[in-house]
Structure 1
């Protein structure tokens, strides 16, 4: 009887894991480094019993069946999972801290990472995601990039809000935005990005 109970318990546990894994696939596509776009089902994270796990390889199931594949960041230019689009960039910090105020995009060097595109325009607003090892929650850092410039600037400083000094310096080409940042008219990165894209240059 005890053996049967343990068997059913373990069977239910593994079945639950399988169901969790299936639910984490979402409609989307991957863009290979060749530029080819493959449509199908994408998984970039999975929900576990302890929280969210960001995968080091993007899982992909092509439309109409076929072999499932796994792609490291260096093998893709971008991917989409549901409504979220991620671009792969190779980054190098311009300072010494992990979450630096500035990063350089270095096409032939640096660490390949995926950045979520929150909004795109004259300035693109990105979020860099990672899982906090202490509580398994997904944290983000906000960055801006003007056009095709190789520089990313950190937009926020955690719970302390916008990095106003850095952003005032970064947006020297838009005095009216500088003034609003300094006067604390804006509290969130999307407000800064929207204003720049609609009113600057």
Structure 2
């Protein structure tokens, strides 16, 4: 009996975690922006929770109203979508140079070149911050990407648990010496801090 009592908090935590994950994979209020520019409001679903972990859809699901059947949209069919308060943009990406995909820091974005994917929008500005999400076993992982306004180049901002890709970011931000210095001196730790500094202090 005492053994069961001691296990109760752990069991409760597991149930709550599962409930939260399942709720995140249901249809939620949002909208989609078609490639034509038209916006459709309704219910959106972009992932599901399975017993082995999350699954992110390549084609998101959309319901305009309860009377209509759901419709699936590929990234190339949309300009973007929003689910609750989280926005995604459709972006064409391809590695900017040859090499190992996960180690390559640069990506190019040109229409119909490479793969069209959904990128989560973290913040927008002179320097925009995106996250490229994928399901990895029991969790959702993501890659932080930066893009300067009006430029076709994305740079990977972080390298997993190693944090900021300081050497590559220092080369990337030649237009802002003060930011280069802060990155080199490790005064900035997170990708969002880099974005905030650039948009506030860099021309």
TM-score normalised by length of structure 2: 0.85
Q: Which 4+ residue blocks in structure 1 deviate beyond 4 angstroms?
A: 20-23
Match of 1:41 in 2: 43
The alpha-carbon deviation at position 43 of structure 1 amounts to 0.3
How large is the Cα RMSD of the aligned pairs?
A: 1.5
Specify every segment of 5 or more residues in structure 2 that has no aligned partner in the other structure, as ranges: 1-21
**Structure 1 residue aligned with 2:119:** 115
- Runs of 5+ in structure 1 lacking a partner? 1-19
**Are the counterparts in 1 of residues 44 and 63 from structure 2 also a CA contact under 8 Å?**
yes
Partners of 2:167 and 2:23 in 1: how far apart?
A: 43
Partner of 1:131: 135
Task: State the partner residue of 1:70.
Answer: 72
Which one of 165, 171, 174 corresponds to residue 173 of structure 2?
A: 171
- 91, 96, 100: which one pairs with 1:97? 100
Q: How many residues align?
A: 180
After TM superposition, the structure 1 = structure 2 runs for residues 44-55 of structure 1, keeping only pairs within 5 Å, are: 44-55=46-57
For 1:197, the equivalent position in structure 2 comes to 199
Provide, for residues 110-153 of structure 1, a one-character-per-residue CA deviation record: whole Å limited to 9, x for no partner. Answer: 10011101011100000000111xx3311000010000200000
- The structural deviation recorded for 1:22 is 9.7
TM-score, normalised to structure 1, is 0.85
Q: For residues 51-84 of structure 1, what are the alpha-carbon distances to aligned partners after superposition, in whole Å with 9 as ceiling and x for unaligned?
A: 1110121100114642311111111110001111
2:179 is aligned with 1:158:
no
